[in-house]
Amino acid sequence: MSGGARRVTLRIEGKVQGVFFRESARGEASRLGLTGWVRNRSDGAVEAVAEGVPAVLEEFIRWCQRGPQQARVTDVARTDGEATGEFSQFIVERTS
């Protein structure tokens, strides 16, 4: 992946499971042209890895701070890194 792409790993906490968060995040990331994945964690949080240009990643992070209408996000922890280009699309992973 070129053009200054970056990777961000997010841990989203709050009421984020059972509120269509993963599928909504997949739709938003795909709309923005990001690649990566999102999944539920066994501790009740949602985890996401996204790759793309920094400005678009920031837009996705802002969306994750709100989530879909039924979600109540209390915290979004982020870790920034280098993009690997390993993803071809943005998917929902069904395992945690």
- Catalytic residue numbers? 22, 40
- Distance in angstroms (rounded) separating the CA atoms of residues 63 and 31: 12
Q: Which two tokens stand for residue 37?
A: 């994945």
Mark 41-74 as b/e (b = at least 16 C-beta within 10 Å): eeeebbbbbbbbbeebbebbbebbeebbeebebe
